[in-house]
Structure 1
Amino acid sequence: MPSDDARPDVRPDAPPEAELGEELVRLASADNFRDVAGPGYATTDGRAVRRGVLYRSNELTLTDEDAEALSRLGITTIFDLRDAHEVEAHPDAPVPGATWRHVEVRGIPMDAVVTLGTREQGLAVMREVYRGFVEKPGGREAFRVLLHEIASGDAPQLFHCTAGKDRTGWAAALLLHIAGVDADTILQDYLATNTIASATRTKYLAMVREHLGEDKVDVYEAVMVADGAYLQVAYDAADAAYGSLDGYLADGLGLARDTLAALRARLVV
Structure 2
Amino acid sequence: MNTRVNTRVRPHSPPHRHTRPLARARSVAITAMAAAALTVGLLPSAASASAAAHRPYAPPIHQIALQGAVNVRDVGGYRTYDGEQVRYGVAYRADALNKATDTDVTTLARLGLREVVDFRVPLELQYDGPDRLPAGVAPTSRPVTDSGLYAAMLSAIGSKDPAVQDAMLGHGKAEALMRTEYQAFVSDPAARTRFGATLKDLASGRGPVLFHCTSGKDRTGWESYVLLRAVGVPAATAEQDYLASNGFRAAADAALRAGLKQSGVMQNPDLLIPLQEVRSDYLNAALSQLGTQYGDLYGYLTRGLGLSVRDLAGLRSRLVP
TM-score of the aligned structures, taking structure 1 as reference length: 0.86
Q: 2:152 pairs with 112, 123, 126, which one?
A: 112
Gaps of 5+ in 1: 1-21
Deviation at 1:56, TM superposition (A): 0.7
Quickly say closer, same or farther: Cα 1:25–1:146, change in 2 above 3 A: closer
Quickly say closer, same or farther: Cα 1:64–1:207, change in 2 above 3 A: same
**Secondary structure in 1 matching 2:135:** coil
Deviation at 1:24, TM superposition (A): 5.7
| 2-structure distance, mates of 1:127, 1:56 | 21
**Partner letter of residue 29 of structure 1?**
G
Deviation at 1:154, TM superposition (A): 3.3
Q: Residue 15 of structure 1 corresponds to which residue in structure 2?
A: none
Greater CA radius of gyration, 1 or 2? 2
Q: Is the 8 A contact 1:119 1:218 kept in 2?
A: no
**Secondary structure in 2 matching 1:197:** helix
**Partner letter of residue 78 of structure 2?**
Y
Deviation at 1:50, TM superposition (A): 0.3
Does residue 1:263 correspond to 2:315, yes or no?
yes
| 1-structure distance, mates of 2:265, 2:187 | 33
Could you tell which deviates more after superposition, 127-136 or 91-100? 91-100
| 2-structure distance, mates of 1:180, 1:91 | 34
Matched length: 245
Q: 1:100 pairs with 139, 154, 159, which one?
A: 139
| 1-structure distance, mates of 2:247, 2:115 | 27
Quickly say closer, same or farther: Cα 1:74–1:186, change in 2 above 3 A: same
Q: Residue 178 of structure 1 corresponds to which residue in structure 2?
A: 230
Q: Percent identity?
A: 38
Q: Is the 8 A contact 2:182 2:285 kept in 1?
A: yes
**Secondary structure in 2 matching 1:73:** coil
Q: Aligned-residue CA RMSD in angstroms? A: 1.7
**Secondary structure in 1 matching 2:241:** helix
| 1-structure distance, mates of 2:132, 2:176 | 33
| 2-structure distance, mates of 1:43, 1:84 | 36
Q: Is the 8 A contact 1:242 1:252 kept in 2?
A: yes
Quickly say closer, same or farther: Cα 1:211–1:119, change in 2 above 3 A: farther
Q: 1:44 pairs with 75, 81, 95, which one?
A: 81
**Secondary structure in 2 matching 1:212:** coil
Residues 155-200 of structure 1: CA distance to partner in whole angstroms, max 9, x if unpaired? 3110000000000000000110011111111111111111112222
| 2-structure distance, mates of 1:166, 1:51 | 22
Q: Residue 26 of structure 2 corresponds to which residue in structure 1?
A: none
TM-score of the aligned structures, taking structure 2 as reference length: 0.72
